[in-house]
Amino acid sequence: MVEDDETIRASLADLLGDEGATLATVANGREALEVLRCAPQPPDLILLDLMMPVMDGWEFRIAQRADRMLSGIPLIAMSADRSAKARAIAADAYVGKPLDFNALVGRIQSVIAEAAEKRRAVADSTAAFAVMAAEIAHEINNPLTYVLANLNVLAEKFPAGSHDPERSELHDLVADAVEGAERIRRVVKQAQMEPHALRRH
């Protein structure tokens, strides 16, 4: 929770603690960034006041979204400012002050649930990609075995060091083909061990 008003900060910490939440509280955006960057794991949610000294909520949000390690943390903005600027902040939810505690708890639960659903969707798509990568690797491996075997036979028929320019050229062409096929084999093997390898290649 990032809130410069000590009374609100203490009251919310007590009330949310009674709801089972574990909170870290700070008084401005700069302190929040320091705490988040040192935390062993990211929090489920950031409650962010917008109007604060040192670093306000808008400045904090810009810095958070620019930090790859922090940008995915869901955020609820809180403010007594009802202007379009306040409501336009890039946040998962916006709540006005004075706070309706029950409404705030509902928003917190909703935002955390939505974030968990997004993580599940990403995990499901990653698992689906892993299955697809394994199937692709299997389909490539079978014909690749025949290709490599035939290329190796050709390589024996056109060995290096021939004085015949045509045979020497054929040797180079076969050698290039063998190198390319071996590279495919390595990529496929890596993809079987690490599903994301196909994306990188």
- What mean pLDDT is reported for the chain? 82
pLDDT tens for residues 47-94? 999 888 889 888 999 899 888 888 889 988 888 877 777 776 778 888
Contacts 24+ apart (CB under 8 A), 58-61: 58/89, 59/29, 60/2, 60/28, 60/29, 60/30, 60/32, 60/33, 61/89, 61/90, 61/91
Residues in CB range of 121: below 8 A, 6 or more apart: none
Instruction: Domain ranges for the chain, please list them.
Output: 6-99, 123-200
Q: Flag whether pLDDT at 178 surpasses 60.
A: yes
pLDDT tens for residues 105-145? 888 888 888 877 887 776 667 676 777 777 777 778 778 88
Q: Decide: pTM greater than 0.85.
A: no
> Could you tell me if 47 and 12 are in contact, meaning their C-beta atoms sit under 8 angstroms apart?
yes
pLDDT of 194 reads 61
Helix (H, G, I), strand (E, B) or coil at 201: coil
Q: CATH class for domain 6-99? A: alpha beta
